[in-house]
Chain A
Amino acid sequence: MTTTSAIDDAAAPSRTSKSGRANGKVRRSAQSRRAARTGALLVSPAMIFVLVFVLFPLGFAVYISLTNWPLIGSYHYVGVSNYSELVHDSDFLQSITFTLLYTVIVTPAIFIVGYGLAALLRANRAGAKLFRTAFFLPYVIGLTTVSYMFEIELQPTSGGVDFLLSKLGLASASKTWTVHYGSALLAVCVIVTWFASGMTMLILTGGMQGISRDVYEAAEVDGATWWDKEWRITLPLLRRSIALSLVISIIGSFLAFNQFYILASNNPKLQTVVEWIYSTAFAKFEVGYATAGAMFLVVIVAAITALQLVLLRNTEE
């Protein structure tokens, strides 16, 4: 026994001696430090990117918003006077109100159309891929190109929209869509719904295809109708995808610029917040004041996004 314990001691001095226990801790500590360093090195390019292109500009923008920074020339610190002026600026408040209205109109439209397309195409039948590509194509082309296309097609007497609608008896051949508030807003909402529903369709299709077929089969055994399956199975299980598509859609609506600038820039009632910011910064050269408006928008968008994520979180978690 003594020999065995002596042999044991000789074989594993680290397990019995004080220095042996300390060596074990050193090995683990050195390993975990190496792992931490490796992790930091791998993450540092992304961190630098975020610091340089997101956090620093955000901080600098806050600073600019506290000055009377012009596009050309010198500036000085003005404190919060830009912000106090904003809340009394009727043009800015009108742009906020309009942007909210536009978001409320266009978000459900995009979701409903996108969901409908996803429901139609979720099964991989023949032709489904082709249709999915076709419906996603406007998104690929880009909203600026789409807006310019429709600037031509919405022209009275010569555009395709009036031609088609007049043949169907739905509008006159010389309707001026972009001159009046109601028709301009309708035209833009239809165009944006057509443009953006493809992306919603794609997100929801991915979510739908992730739902196991067994769940539906079990429901069918219990006598569930198509509507029961959609309402009680698909929608709840699609919560995360719905949240993602709504967040993207609402943020996109709050940042709307291209379509209104190209199609309806001369109608003041159709000015979005981003148009107001652009015009204030680059037409009136008041970059400090415009940046205050931009900060306002950042806060609003962040608050609405947080609210959505809270409301749409998976309550079982």
Chain B
Amino acid sequence: MKRLVAVVACVASAILIAACGGSGSSTRSPSASVSSFGVNAKGTVVFYQRSGTEAAADVLVPEFNRTHPGLKVKLVITGANDDTSTLASAIRAGNPPDLVGLNDIDITEFDSKNTLMDLTKYIKALPEYSSLSKGHLALGEYEGAQYAVPYLADVSVLWYNKVLFNKADITGPPKTIAEMVTDANKIQALKLAGTYGISFAGDCQGCMAFAGLPDMWANHDYLIEGKIPNQRIDIEGNKDLTAWLNAYHEMWKNGDAPVSDQTDTGTTWGKDFASGNVGIFPAGYDEYTDLASSKNLKNYGVAGLPGVNGDTATFDGGDDFVIPTGAKNASGAWEFVRWMLQEKQQTALAKYGLTPVVGSVLDAQFEKQYPYDTVAVKVMNHDGYAPTTMIYDTAINEPDSPWFKLFSSAVFSGQTQSAEKTAQSAFSQLLVSTSSGK
């Protein structure tokens, strides 16, 4: 009996150690030539696509498989909140997927750990290269090499209710933060039952960063300044940030936003706007799918997010394609990428509330068919940005992040000054601990 236990333990351990063994090939730069990589590839491509931006992939992947006999893309949808940990676990287990539609804000973390393939020469050889979204491309760059290529854009914009604007005698979308406050006040002053000037997801730090940070970026104020590894934080005493926080605090104090905004974790974000009860709604362009299905799309307008002092900006959200090192069918993955960047497939993204990353899709036909997405593409091409930093998730997205504490203390409690001081310290501490490798 004892011998049996010992034998079983040894066998089990051996199996598990083998299973947890290191990755296969870890080549960062494929050796295939530009002319042969991603051409007539065969086999299977395992493609990780995160939930939330999968609508187009659900349709386009079967279309690719139908038109490319011999090469099959296997679509794997990963959880919206654990897509990075799913990918990291697969890499750690030595079984990475061949292709990932990675949230562009997470690329830097994977780049810095040498887990992604250098695709520089292949990206530069793409016929669409000069039309690719610059902001999304920049997020895929690390230490002079390109590890990611834009796939789809999920940008932030300013939605507004034209009916409420007409009632409040407002002629067009606000061009500055101060105008946004004035417009929200005017709509609230109409005193229509259940109607509010503005709506935002006050308990959703990711949402507020996505829809709010561009207001500062429009004035070239990035809060996290400089390039890795020499970044610095500019929060305490930042005039643009203070103006923005005070603007939201004023709207909150004035009752321009529903009480439920304070506890909106993003689950019901935009539902009140889509039901016609809110005048101004800074949010993602993907709100389009709710508005289109409401049959009252003509009542809504879209514009770029207004800067603190004018101009517009947008958060270059969305996904980039990356190929992990150790991918078994990198060539097949690249063939799929090349296909997805063609005009027909990029135009198809617009049907699903997403925005193409290839600017050359903007022609008369696209503008006529997708007038709302045209605004999003133009804003993205002109003013798109997203921060390249290692601390984005911990500083901003994660529960109880320093960004969340800053926003909620300033907006709901009016403690802007002390909130900025605390956030300055917390953000800086995260930069230090990330750069020290802990």
Contacts and interface: CB of A to CB of B under 8 A. Distances in A.
A binds B: yes
Interface of A: 36, 40, 44, 47-48, 51-52, 56, 60, 68, 70-73, 148, 151-152, 154-158, 174, 176-179, 261, 265-268, 271, 275, 279, 281-286
A286 to B, nearest CB: 7
A44 B8 contact: yes
Nearest to B10: A51
Interface in B252-277: 258-260, 262-265, 267-268
Contacts of A47: 5, 8
Contacts of B267: 148, 151-152
A266 B205 CA distance: 9
22 contacts: A48-B8, A48-B12, A51-B8, A52-B15, A56-B12, A60-B16, A72-B88, A72-B109, A72-B113, A73-B113, A148-B267, A151-B265, A156-B263, A157-B258, A174-B259, A176-B262, A177-B263, A178-B203, A265-B265, A271-B400, A279-B399, A283-B398
A282 B82 contact: yes
Contact of A176 (B88, B92, B114, B263): B263
A98 B389 CA distance: 33
List the 7 closest A-B pairs by CB distance, nearest first. A265-B399, A73-B113, A72-B113, A283-B398, A71-B88, A174-B259, A282-B85
B358 interface: no
Contact of B259 (A40, A176, A268, A275): A176
A156 B205 contact: no
B85 A71 contact: yes
B115 A155 contact: no
A91 to B, nearest CB: 10
Interface string B265-291: 101100000000000000000000000
Interface string B389-431: 0000110011110001000100010000000000000000000
Interface of B: 1, 4-5, 8-9, 12-13, 15-16, 20, 82, 84-85, 88-89, 91-92, 109-110, 113-115, 203, 205, 258-260, 262-265, 267-268, 393-394, 397-400, 404, 408, 412, 438
A134 B8 CA distance: 45
A266 B203 contact: yes
Given A70-B113, A151-B267, A179-B262, 8 more contacts: A52-B15, A71-B88, A72-B109, A72-B113, A265-B399, A282-B82, A283-B397, A285-B88
B117 to A, nearest CB: 15
B3 to A, nearest CB: 10
B109 A285 contact: yes
Nearest to B20: A60
A157 B260 contact: yes
A52 B12 contact: yes
Contact of A44 (B4, B16, B20, B393): B4
Nearest to B13: A56
B4 A40 contact: yes
A51 B9 contact: yes
Given A51-B12, A56-B13, A266-B203, A279 B398 contact: yes
A284 to B, nearest CB: 6
A266 B16 contact: no
A94 to B, nearest CB: 12
A155 B8 contact: no
A44 B82 CA distance: 36
Residue of A36, A156, A177, A285 most packed against chain B (CB within 10 A): A285
A72 B399 CA distance: 21
B404 A266 contact: yes
Nearest to A45: B8
A46 B12 CA distance: 13
Contacts of A151: 265, 267
A105 to B, nearest CB: 21
A152 B266 CA distance: 11
A158 B260 contact: yes
Contacts of A281: 85
A67 to B, nearest CB: 13
Nearest to A260: B399
A68 B265 CA distance: 33
Residue of A72, A174, A265 most packed against chain B (CB within 10 A): A72
A155 B268 contact: yes
A72 B92 contact: yes
Contacts of A51: 8-9, 12
B393 A283 contact: yes
